[in-house]
């Protein structure tokens, strides 16, 4: 789980660095919009992973959350 969190955070940092490197592009540039959406998605996934690691709630809720993330990722 910790490896997953580190991987997601690393990917987020890479995307963030790319956004900063392309600072000369307008905010409504398609790449900027796509990257902002990707960063938002990565932040949501990190938040879920943090909850999974720190919460000790029932496994049914966890299964539903993982399934929702899988479904969101396929869309």
Report pLDDT for 48: 84
pLDDT per residue as tens digits for the range 18-58: 877 766 666 788 888 899 999 999 999 888 888 777 766 66
pLDDT at 13 over 80: yes
Q: HEC string of the chain?
A: CHHHHHHHHHHHHHHHHHHHHCCCCCCCCHHHHHHHHHHHHHHHHHHHHHHHHHCCCCHHHHHHHHHHHHHHHHC
Residue 66 pLDDT class (50, 70, 90 cuts): confident
């Amino acid at each position: 789980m910790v490896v997953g969190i580190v991987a997601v955070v690393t990917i987020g940092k890479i995307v963030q660095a790319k956004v900063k490197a392309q600072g000369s592009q307008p905010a409504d540039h398609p790449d900027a919009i796509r990257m902002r959406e990707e960063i938002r998605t990565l932040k949501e996934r990190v938040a879920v992973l943090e909850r999974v690691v720190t919460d000790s709630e029932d496994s049914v809720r966890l299964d539903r959350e993982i399934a929702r993330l899988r479904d969101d990722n396929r869309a």
